[in-house]
Amino acid sequence: MDDNIVAAGDIDPTTPIIVGVGQASERLDDPDYQRLGEADLAANSVRAAFADAGIDPTTLAEAIDVAVAVRSFERSSPMSKSPLGRPDNTPRAVAQRTGMAPRRAVEEVTGGQSPQHLVTEFGSEIAAGRTDAVVLFGAEVMSTVRAARKSDDRPDYSETVGGQLEDRGFGIAGLTSADEVRHGVMTPVAQYSLLENARRHRLGRSRAEYAAQMGTLFAPMSQIASTNPHSSTSRVYSPADLAVPSENNRRVCVPYTRRLISRDQVNQAAAVVMMSVGAARRAGIDPSRWVFVHGHADLREPPMMQRPDLSRAPSAVAAVHTALEMAGIGMSDVAALDLYSCFPIAVSNVADAFGLEPDDPRGLTATGGLPYFGGPGNNYSMHGIAEIVDRARRTPGSFGLVGANGGILSKYSVGVYSTTPAPWRVSTSDAVQRELDAVPTVPLTRYADGRAVIESFTVLNPDREDRAGSVIGRLHDGTRFIATADGDDLLDLLCGNEDPVGRTVYARSSADRNVVASTRAELDERHPRPTPGFADEYEHLIVERDGHVLEVTINRPDSRNAISPQTNAELDAVFEAYFADPDLWVAILTGAGEKAFSSGNDLAASAGSGGLSMPENGFAGLTARRRLPKPVIAAVNGFALGGGLEIALACHVIVADESATFGLPEVKVGLVAAAGGLVRLPRVLPPALARDMILTGRRLDAKEAHSHGLVSRVAARGEVMTAARGVAQEVLAASPAAVRASISTMASTDATADTVTAVRDSLAVLDEILVSQDTTEGIMAFVQKRPPQWTGR
């Protein structure tokens, strides 16, 4: 102890240190249960951290310059809600309760890595001299909220505090995707089970063997949790208690029972006080309370579906290596560990790499783990830090390590702690991250069709009638996709004792989702491909044919012809029928009335359907269609905004009414022009103008659009369909076979190739044209000086 105190006298005064840690908790069955809200429970943990520093709490509170709150689950996503209300500024609400008046208040992004990441971030801030006293804290009162919602006497935790707040947002981009959501893989338990099942297959374990291993890994944690006064449970479990399904331990999914996953129904809070050495000296904090950060790292994974190996997360392993290397020690030098343990694979991913066994005498958790101590949302690792700091003080000179996980093994932050004085070291995480990012990711297929093999899977509620399975698979070209498991045979396989990974399945796509079945016959029976054809009537369209011309009118004038999911489906079917009908050679698309061609996505209707119903062929069945083999003319009468402009851009020819207006206003409502606008507009317009429109929502009138080449012809007011029909007749005067071949060649030409190369490559079109009946007819008609009689063949 004396050596540490003497050495501390030589430390740079800007070196960051932890001087206080505190925890607070309450359980529904506690005799003194107070039904505290988030701000009150967090304040209790801050008071405990102030007291832990060993000086007058008022003095310490007055010294705090920055107050940082870990984001609670009630604020963790755009879909989160606060059923009992909450403060409008959590950091300052806690500050008011604890006597602080911080210059800066921060609310961190979502993720279980955030407590450790914040230690690293504000350690850097202190070392750089930008602040010298910071309090970090977080709290979850999910258990209280859940119970109180059922009560007639519901508390109101609403609070208007105001003041400066640096709200960093959710930070959840890449943690899930629209494809995962539409296939039922949107909860952590479903996402983690996909990774877990991939790991089990890689190790070659049977289901029983793997379940026993998960139980063996986690059972020692329950023993540690039983002695922790802040733990959500004091029960000690055997491996079988955890791994074997029972009436009180049901299978929530394959392969997890309830006792193997994080317990989020808790009331727990924790706080950490960081200061510079200079500030700690001025405050009179005894050096015996000082704990130094010897190593740190913050690394991340690609989105789950893009990872080369679903069974591994190398970023977590690299983060631990990086932090240990920075500290100048190895794993054998670490005396205490707290590895994030929301699900078994979060622990085994690191334990495998470092040879850590479940019965390691140090323990793999200092708290008792998320399933037993409790998993208070994003703030769990603040408790881990508090425990590791306490152990470092109890054994001066020893090292403790905290591994904090966020997302779906997506983000991993590590800290190495000791009372031994050490200078603050600059992060090397960026260099390591570049190495991780250099590894190629897996290409994805959003719409999967054909023979495939199962790469991993999950089944929610496997022992109930409402069981639901999802599969990650690989197509013959190696691309990865996600699909819903369809049919009892396949679900029985996924829930049974055999290993389904590597088994052949058959995939089929639709506007809403991909499905996989055990056999192609089963897929054809349950999900037959619709035969292209026109319906007798449409709800949102007027469809008319005039000889070889198809006219399609979006008939929703009251909503400015906005595209709803139903409109999308109808347009997709109509264009599927158009391209399949050999007697239709040209199509014209317009909008009903005079106000709009289309004002884009019907946000209200899309929100009502989850906003995810989009045909495989894109907006209006056109914007993502791989081939438009026959001409489509857009007759733009009025507004062509957002998706409306994107539809027009997908057409071969745009004819505009002189009153037409074109624009991509998505950014003004927090969206992006993802249905082709971001790609096609810069290829049609001068790049500077395209960027202006995309980034500001700037609109062009018909005259401007024509002058810049966005439209080919401008019609007098009210005459756009007449003009479009005239263009259609001009196209019909040409050879349909030559028109189709020209369209195909233009679409397939490599825009990046030099002109001569592109011309040479395009000569292949002659192979098709020279055997066309239309070519023979065109030459004969020219020689005989008569109009050609096209057949389209």
Say how many C-beta atoms besides its own lie within 10 A of residue 115's C-beta: 31
Mean of the pLDDT values across residues 163-178?
Answer: 88
Active-site residue set: 646, 666
Model confidence at 751: pLDDT above 80: no
Mean of the pLDDT values across residues 739-759?
Answer: 69
Summarize pLDDT for 536-586 with one digit per residue, the tens. Answer: 999 999 999 999 999 999 999 999 999 999 999 999 999 999 999 999 999
Q: Inter-axis angle of helices 380-394 and 114-127, to 10 degrees?
A: 60
Which of 407-416, 599-608, 614-623 bottoms out in mean pLDDT, i.e. has the lowest? 599-608
Say how many C-beta atoms besides its own lie within 10 A of residue 188's C-beta: 16
Query: Is pLDDT larger for residue 325 or for residue 774?
Result: 325
User: 148-152, 283-287, 511-515: which has the highest mean pLDDT?
Assistant: 283-287
| Structure confidence at residue 722 (pLDDT) | 96
Model confidence at 72: pLDDT above 60: yes
Say if residues 13 and 278 touch (Cβ distance below 8 Å).
yes
Mean of the pLDDT values across residues 430-441?
Answer: 97
Model confidence at 765: pLDDT above 60: no
Which of 402-406, 478-482, 606-610 bottoms out in mean pLDDT, i.e. has the lowest? 606-610
The CA distance from 389 to 331, in Å, is: 17
Residue 514 forms beta bridges with which residues? 509
Summarize pLDDT for 83-114 with one digit per residue, the tens. Answer: 999 999 999 999 999 999 999 999 999 999 99
Summarize pLDDT for 263-278 with one digit per residue, the tens. Answer: 989 999 999 999 999 9
Say if residues 458 and 473 touch (Cβ distance below 8 Å).
no
Summarize pLDDT for 333-369 with one digit per residue, the tens. Answer: 999 999 999 999 999 999 999 999 999 999 999 999 9
Q: pLDDT category, 323, cuts 50, 70, 90?
A: very high
| Structure confidence at residue 747 (pLDDT) | 78
Which of 58-72, 135-149, 184-198, 602-616 bottoms out in mean pLDDT, i.e. has the lowest? 602-616
Q: Is 485 exposed, middle or buried (0-12, 13-18, 19+ CB in 10 A)?
A: buried
| Structure confidence at residue 767 (pLDDT) | 55
Mean of the pLDDT values across residues 41-48?
Answer: 98
Helix (H) and strand (E) counts in the chain:
28, 25
Query: Is pLDDT larger for residue 511 or for residue 468?
Result: 468
The side-by-side arrangement of strands in the sheet containing 713-715 is 541-546, 549-554, 586-591, 632-636, 653-657, 713-715
Say if residues 667 and 645 touch (Cβ distance below 8 Å).
no
Q: pLDDT category, 768, cuts 50, 70, 90?
A: low
Structure tokens at 615: 């045909």
Model confidence at 613: pLDDT above 60: no
Residue 167 CB contacts under 8 Å (≥ 6 apart), including other chains:
107
User: 121-130, 591-600, 732-741, 750-759: which has the highest mean pLDDT?
Assistant: 121-130
Model confidence at 761: pLDDT above 80: no
| Structure confidence at residue 80 (pLDDT) | 86
Query: Is pLDDT larger for residue 15 or for residue 750?
Result: 15
The CA distance from 621 to 755, in Å, is: 32
Q: pLDDT category, 775, cuts 50, 70, 90?
A: low
Say if residues 475 and 418 touch (Cβ distance below 8 Å).
no
The CA distance from 321 to 325, in Å, is: 6
Q: pLDDT category, 758, cuts 50, 70, 90?
A: low
Model confidence at 196: pLDDT above 90: yes
Model confidence at 756: pLDDT above 80: no
Cα separation of the two ends of the chain: 93
Model confidence at 442: pLDDT above 60: yes
Mean of the pLDDT values across residues 209-232?
Answer: 97
Q: pLDDT category, 176, cuts 50, 70, 90?
A: confident
Mean of the pLDDT values across residues 658-675?
Answer: 91
Mean of the pLDDT values across residues 726-754?
Answer: 81
Q: What percent of the chain has pLDDT over 70?
A: 93
Q: Residue for token digits 């000791």? A: 418
Mean of the pLDDT values across residues 473-483?
Answer: 97
| Structure confidence at residue 97 (pLDDT) | 98
